[in-house]
Chain A
Amino acid sequence: DAGVIQSPRHEVTEMGQEVTLRCKPISGHNSLFWYRQTMMRGLELLIYFNNNVPIDDSGMPEDRFSAKMPNASFSTLKIQPSEPRDSAVYFCASSVGSQQFFGPGTRLTVL
């Protein structure tokens, strides 16, 4: 199994630009999570999908952030417009049951 796949691995963009992060969960997993990791705040859950439906988006920072899961094998996290304070590593994880498997992350730098 390839594990959770995230793309791109690194993204550098300028303030105000739209950023789209992508995630392919492990086949058969029915839950998908987006996390953000920063030095200041550690690992934070942004949003949680179950069977492609958003269950909890209370961790999404603000309206600039949106996430979709159009099917069981694909999810996106979009930031529009991006700001320097969005610079972080964004992780996608998938699970079936209580064990989450993490992708390698996308390191986002907003200049």
Chain B
Amino acid sequence: AQSVTQPDIHITVSEGASLELRCNYSYGATPYLFWYVQSPGQGLQLLLKYFSGDTLVQGIKGFEAEFKRSQSSFNLRKPSVHWSDAAEYFCATSSNDYKLSFGAGTTVTVRA
């Protein structure tokens, strides 16, 4: 069964600094990969997804992620963080049957 690991439980970053959130997946074939963001008290919003093709994926809110098969990784990046990016971020994977398996999440705190 597919699974994802998010090694970082909590990251603190200064406003304007770059952000990188790590995600490692475990799956035999090429999985579908997703990044979701959850603001406090809100549901999950899709930031970006990777199915195939170009391994650098652009998403909403200035986020991007890079699929690296050799490292089984799908790390999320943003060049310059805004205070509104403070939230919890979830990496997820699914096989063709659309069942999402979520990582434990990474909480991002943005300091002024």
Contacts and interface: CB of A to CB of B under 8 A. Distances in A.
Select the residue from B32, B42, B44, B99 with max chain A CB neighbours within 10 A: B44
Interface of A is mostly: strand
A56 interface: yes
B92 to A, nearest CB: 8
A102 B43 contact: yes
Contacts of B98: 31, 48, 95, 97-98, 100
Interface in A82-111: 91, 93, 95, 97-105
A42 interface: yes
A91 B99 contact: no
Interface in B28-51: 32, 36, 42-46, 49, 51
B44 A102 contact: yes
A101 B101 CA distance: 15
Given A98-B94, A98-B98, A102-B43, A42 B105 contact: yes
B102 A42 contact: yes
Nearest to B43: A102
B77 to A, nearest CB: 21
Interface in B74-111: 90, 94, 98-105
